[in-house]
């Protein structure tokens, strides 16, 4: 049971419910936290399947930190088994998280932003739901599929 990702999802939901005047900043933190909940779930899966040691061990921590954002995205997207829905959701959440953390535009979509519309609470809630769906997908995988996913995320392709 990986509790940290689930707690992060709960935190993301909580942030999506924060009212003005802190609402806008909280919605950004909600989206970012939703992405990191999924990322943390994948990291925990890798560590659990590959290190096969207690979470407090150095080997668990080393594998937990082995997964990188860009390579993980690319590995998932091109994969027949995990490209959809997991890879698609990971990429969508990563893009939204990048907007939330780094952009000063009022919305991740340029057309919506240009129309003067801001990122809404309901949109943050939908990204949190997307992360929850993706984590549920990972949780429901059979053990051998979890093993394949962990290796996919950690192994580097030979050049």
Partner 1 sequence: MTDQVETVGELKRIIAETLGAGRISSMSVTPYLDHADEPAYSIAVSMTAEKDIPDARRQSELTRKLRETLTRLGNPRFPYLYFVGLDEDDSPDDVDEFEPWPEDSERS
> Could you say whether residue 14 binds partner 1 (CB under 8 A)?
no
> Could you say whether residue 88 binds partner 1 (CB under 8 A)?
yes
CB of 78 to partner 1, least distance (A): 10
> Could you say whether residue 104 binds partner 1 (CB under 8 A)?
yes
> Could you say whether residue 148 binds partner 1 (CB under 8 A)?
no
From the CA atom positions of the chain, what is the Rg in Å?
A: 16
CA distance 7 to 27: 17
Contact 12, 41 (CB under 8 A): no
> Could you say whether residue 10 binds partner 1 (CB under 8 A)?
no
CA distance 89 to 95: 10
Q: Which of 14, 129, 141, 152 is the binder for partner 1 (CB under 8 A)?
A: 129
> Could you say whether residue 13 binds partner 1 (CB under 8 A)?
no
> Could you say whether residue 157 binds partner 1 (CB under 8 A)?
no
CA distance 84 to 76: 8
> Could you say whether residue 5 binds partner 1 (CB under 8 A)?
no
Taking contact as CB under 8 A, which single stretch among the options 47-55, 57-65, 100-108, 149-157 is the one that binds partner 1? 100-108
Any residues with CB less than 8 A from the CB of 44 and at least 6 apart, and which?
2, 4, 5, 64
> Could you say whether residue 66 binds partner 1 (CB under 8 A)?
no
**What size, in residues, is the chain?**
159
DSSP states along 44-91: HHHIIIII-S-TTSHHHHHHHTT--HHHHHHHHHT-TTTIIIIIHHHH
Taking contact as CB under 8 A, which single stretch among the options 2-10, 20-28, 45-53, 59-67 is the one that binds partner 1? 20-28
Contact footprint for partner 1 (CB under 8 A): 20-25, 27, 70, 73, 77, 84-85, 88-89, 91-92, 94-95, 98-99, 102, 104, 106-112, 117-123, 126, 129-130, 132-133
């Amino acid at each position: 049971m990986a509790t940290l990702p689930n707690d992060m999802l709960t935190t993301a939901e909580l942030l999506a419910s924060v009212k003005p005047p802190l609402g806008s900043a909280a919605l950004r933190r909600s989206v970012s936290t939703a992405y990191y909940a999924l990322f943390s779930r994948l990291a925990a899966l890798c560590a659990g399947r590959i290190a096969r040691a207690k979470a407090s061990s150095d080997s668990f921590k080393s594998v937990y930190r082995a997964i990188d954002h860009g390579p993980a995205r690319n590995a998932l997207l091109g994969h027949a088994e995990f490209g959809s829905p997991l890879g698609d959701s990971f990429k969508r959440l990563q893009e939204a998280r990048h907007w939330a953390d780094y952009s000063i535009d009022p919305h991740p979509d340029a057309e919506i932003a240009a129309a003067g519309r801001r990122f809404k609470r309901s949109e943050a809630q939908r990204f949190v739901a997307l992360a929850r769906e993706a984590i549920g997908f990972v949780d429901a995988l059979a053990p051998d599929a979890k093993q394949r996913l962990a290796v996919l995320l950690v192994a580097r392709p030979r050049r």
